[in-house]
Amino acid sequence: MAARKPIFNQQVLVDTTPLPDSVPKVKEVGATSAPLLSASFFIGARCRPYNDDYMQCKTENPGKGELECLKEGRRVTRCAASVVDDINKHCLDEFRKHWQCLDNNNHQLWQCRKDEWKLNKCVFDNLKLEKTIPEAQGIPVHLRSKQIYAHYPALRDPGQAPFKKAVDAPGAEAPAS
Amino acid sequence: MPQDMPPSGASARFSTSETFRRLASSPPLWSSAWAPSASGGFYKLGQGIREQNELAREKMWSRIHLIPLLQAEEDRDLARRHMADQAREEAADGRQLQGLQQRQVRADFPSLLWLFVRPTYAVTPANTTK
């Protein structure tokens, strides 16, 4: 289905009819772009199997995946919502600082490493979710202590140690849902 | 008519300095100053390009992790509208007009089987505000 909304000449048509009762209800994530970007790698770390399932379903049902893959889509949304809820529960301050920094810096991740390291540490300590960039060359960018393109060369607070890479990668564990 | 010419001996007075003339006439001399500076610049350029590649990879993967979530939400919305349209048509006409239209288009253009045919008409719902 194309993403174009049906727009009439004189009015915008907003259909408020809910899904039929035969389809289980799911609450949407409801986060805006900056919190989603901030949490994206943790969502990927926990929900990779569900995401892959959903994308495979979409690939195998061309043209009708929107109706066939509702179940997989609900799983994807529930898993991502569980990640966002957990981050909100355990690391709310760090999370807020990071996504507000992203909002203030044009969503450029490299401007917010200081806040990102704090968030990564908190999330790894509490949720055992680790940010990994697949196929990264050399030291992954989010672990480098020097950023060529950042506005401010001082990336750490005075006395703040650089974020250490976690020794045991937790991998993609499925949540109980 | 006699043409105006510079006075004789003027070129000697405006000639370039001796140092510049020596530099310009000796490639090894100026390239020894220029080459290290240029290679240093290219080295920095290479570093910058590599870091940009890595930053692009990071951004790409963050989006890859988010796409199923965003697509699932959009799909649910489309499915909700589609089912509501069908229910309205069923109630108004006893048939599912959009389903008929879809099947007709798919029969006419078998190569477009992958395509969801967005309906070109709809029964307007009674309540159109949020």
Q: Give the type of residue at A62.
A: P
pLDDT band for A171, please (50, 70, 90 cuts).
very low
User: What's the whole-number average pLDDT of chain A?
Assistant: 83
Measure in Å the smallest separation between the Cα of A103 and chain B Cα atoms: 15
Q: For residue B65, list chain A residues with Cβ-Cβ distance below 8 A.
A: 40-41, 43-44, 47-48, 51
Q: Which phi and psi (to 5°) does residue A145 adopt?
A: -90, -5
pTM of the shown model: 0.75
Condensed to tens digits (0 to 9), the pLDDT of residues A119-128 reads 999 999 999 9
Per-residue pLDDT, averaged over B61-78, amounts to 94
CB pair distance less than 8 Å for A40 and B83? no
Q: Where are the beta strands (DSSP E) in A34-125?
A: none
Angle subtended at Cα B38 by Cα B35 and Cα B39, rounded to the nearest 5 degrees: 85
At residue A24, the 3 state secondary structure works out as coil
Work out the percent of chain A whose per-residue pLDDT is above 90: 55
The mean pLDDT of A1-17, rounded to a whole number, is: 64
CA-to-CA separations, B26 to A100, A140, B17, B29, in angstroms, rounded: 58, 47, 15, 6
Strand partners, A12: A7
Greatest C-alpha distance within chain B: 107
Asked if the Cβ–Cβ distance from A148 to B48 is below 8 Å, we say yes
Distance of residue B47 Cα from the nearest chain A Cα, in angstroms: 9
Could you tell me the residue ranges of all domains in chain A?
33-133
User: Of A44, A66, A141, which has the smallest distance from its Cβ to B55's Cβ?
Assistant: A141
Helix (H) or strand (E) holding A80: helix A70-90
Contact A109, A102 (CB under 8 A): yes
Q: pLDDT tens for residues B71-120?
A: 999 999 888 888 887 788 777 766 666 666 666 766 777 666 656 666 66
Q: Does the pLDDT at position A23 exceed 50?
A: yes
pLDDT of A50 over the 70 cut: yes
- Pick B78's closest partner by Cβ from A1, A23, A26: A1
Once rounded to an integer, what is the mean pLDDT over residues A94-107?
A: 95
What is the spatial distance between Cα A99 and Cα B32, in angstroms, rounded to a whole number?
50
Among B44, B65, B106, which would you mutate to test the A interface (most chain A Cβ atoms within 10 Å of its Cβ)? Answer: B65
Q: Residues of chain B with pLDDT > 90: what percent?
A: 32
Query: Which candidate from A19, A58, A136 shows the least CB-CB separation from B57?
Result: A136
- Tell me if A67 and B63 make a contact (CB, 8 A cut-off): no
Q: What is the distance, to the nearest Å, from the Cα of residue B125 to the centroid of all Cα atoms in its chain?
A: 39
